[in-house]
Structure 1
């Protein structure tokens, strides 16, 4: 077992609340870490806090189910299945691999940041399993979630799941049926949902309800091709720039709304995609960790519009990092490592 480090290192994500100005971290799962406690990093004062206590380990070992007998969610590899729903004050959690056996999970959980309590929504027809990539669409108050076999829409206020498109059949299979680790994000200006990572790229037009990946052939940033995954379906071949990001397992990938750019991190210097020119460039590596955690970064790289910076959580014994893509915004405080790491 990894112990506390598994919260982040075992396919763990995080969610940022613009209103609370805090990053919420929750993870573990399988036989890496059984603790289901929630942590937050308070950006205002640069401090960590543990918000909940873990369920007893013997309870997890004896049951191996979700929810646990005490009504709490089982710990899990969260992948990119965490988002903060600012309009309701909840952290959303979907999918993952639970403790101790690593089974795939489909329960939709909401964590109330004010009361520090969990709610099992009981919703039906939900995405499940490993490698989910999600993003919160503030304009519609909903979440887009990409599972291995489909793209889903979750309306938070009505607790309704809708499957938008299925990847199980041609011409979308095998190109878009990707089980490995990915990261989701929304370009709020064009209303596009992006999912990237593990030799994959998907772009979905939210308002038109259709795939538009073919509109986003870019230059620079390393050559990308999906030829190995679609070699028996050559009509689904897609080649572009951005391979340094798209080929990485669950890269950090977030939209800078002020610059109208995607900024990605896979270790060292960030990779920056200017959406107007469709060109990649490389940012500064000064002060950056040399490499992302082996399993991926997922949602532990987020854009903070309050401060006009990106935040990175890259390990329980490492400081929290900030990266500024453009000038402007207030000063951010110094950070500390996760307590107990």
Structure 2
């Protein structure tokens, strides 16, 4: 319980400062009924797209920037600024590694960087023109914003165009896996490439030096081979940013749990990567995950037979076995009309300690647990739609396109077409000091 209170305090401290700069957005949320949806964006995502002349080659690089969202995409919510950060694309979809931003202060989409040049280094394998910058990738549910160090983190997934890990080219021409990468939002600039000057698609484009490569694979032998279908959840432990990641350790599908701890953006050597949970009941494939701070759990979505899968976070280590919540043991699922599939999004609500599921459309479900995670229950939220709701078609999945925004006390959902929605829960708490 103490850990969950510290997390909530950390979130709200940063978030309340940001909320004071969002009067237009807060006015909309005050007017919005509880248990309802509201569309927030004032412009279309495509209005922010990189001009075709400045997109990463080859052109067409399979498709357009819309794939940053629809190709197993996910975003990170920035509670410092009240902004949504979006990066993605990847294997067989889009080569551009530019960053996009939906700004809470203006309610508008904008580009936060231009893409960089990519270079082939092996069959279907590319690196960015600047080794500090990632190539594009499907992020699934691994895009997170680290409040303590004020950075977006990209672990990757299906990278362009090998469909696997990020790679780094060594001086002798050999390749090895690398990453993750951090993006500095303070350096965001729509007119600059995310890497250094000279790494852009156009040689005339100035560099913003926005990315840095933490290169954990060089120091940690158990750094996963890739992050395909991975899930993640952020938290704070002992004053440091922590991300829990569930992903297969190699080329299989059964997922293990890892912990990434970062405290100094200027010192990659201080980062820590640990294996803190092993696969138990076989659950793999795409999904979404979150840290349940009140119960000391990492929870990810599963499938119809095993709707949820979790690890204890108070007994972390290589022998900490993951456990499945089977369909027959998820109380209330039939009454709530919930049939789990691999396209749901999931995040944690620290104000009303529970997990919230969204799989497209208007309906939202809450999930709670008690008795040491021996009893699980799901309930259908009493949703109303006076101002509409997102569409039911979620394409390849919601995954990382459903996040709790602490400074606003709402859940943010992103549709594949770029529409940004807020779901306002019951018992909404207005940010303090406003």
TM-score by length of 1: 0.80
Q: How does 1:1-341 map to 2 (within 5 A)?
A: 1-56=62-117, 59-60=118-119, 65=125, 67-71=127-131, 72-105=133-166, 107-116=179-188, 117-124=210-217, 125=220, 126-127=223-224, 128-140=226-238, 141-148=241-248, 149-157=255-263, 158-167=270-279, 172=280, 175-178=281-284, 180-199=285-304, 200=306, 201-209=308-316, 210-211=320-321, 213=323, 217-222=329-334, 244=339, 247-268=340-361, 269-275=363-369, 278-283=376-381, 284=383, 286=385, 287-315=388-416, 317-330=417-430
Residues 60 and 100, structure 1, Cα contact 8 Å, conserved in 2: no
* In structure 2, C-alpha distance between the alignment counterparts of 1:60 and 1:265, rounded to whole Å: 38
How far did residue 151 of structure 1 move? 1.2
* In structure 2, C-alpha distance between the alignment counterparts of 1:61 and 1:212, rounded to whole Å: 39
How far did residue 204 of structure 1 move? 1.5
CA RMSD of aligned residues (A): 2.6
1:34 alignment partner, SS class: coil
* In structure 1, C-alpha distance between the alignment counterparts of 2:337 and 2:180, rounded to whole Å: 33
* In structure 2, C-alpha distance between the alignment counterparts of 1:28 and 1:250, rounded to whole Å: 18
Larger relative CO (CA 8 A, sep 6+): 1 or 2? Answer: 2
Work out the number of aligned pairs and report it: 302
How far did residue 221 of structure 1 move? 2.4
How far did residue 27 of structure 1 move? 0.6
Change over 3 Å in CA distance of 1:311–1:208 after alignment to 2: same
How far did residue 329 of structure 1 move? 3.6
How far did residue 242 of structure 1 move? 8.7
Residues 309 and 324, structure 2, Cα contact 8 Å, conserved in 1: no
* Post-superposition CA distance 1:277-296 (Å, at most 9, x none): 84322221622223242211
Residues 221 and 271, structure 1, Cα contact 8 Å, conserved in 2: no
| Structure (1 or 2) with the greater helix fraction | 2
Residues 100 and 112, structure 2, Cα contact 8 Å, conserved in 1: yes
* Post-superposition CA distance 1:99-127 (Å, at most 9, x none): 12323345211111112411111112322
* In structure 2, C-alpha distance between the alignment counterparts of 1:138 and 1:34, rounded to whole Å: 33
2:379 alignment partner, SS class: strand
How far did residue 243 of structure 1 move? 5.3
Larger radius of gyration: 2
Change over 3 Å in CA distance of 1:44–1:60 after alignment to 2: same
How far did residue 45 of structure 1 move? 2.6
TM-score by length of 2: 0.64
* In structure 2, C-alpha distance between the alignment counterparts of 1:146 and 1:205, rounded to whole Å: 13
Residues 145 and 152, structure 1, Cα contact 8 Å, conserved in 2: yes
Residues 262 and 273, structure 1, Cα contact 8 Å, conserved in 2: yes
User: For structure 2, which runs of at least 5 residues remain unmatched after alignment?
Assistant: 1-61, 167-177, 189-209, 249-254, 264-269
Residues 66 and 107, structure 1, Cα contact 8 Å, conserved in 2: no
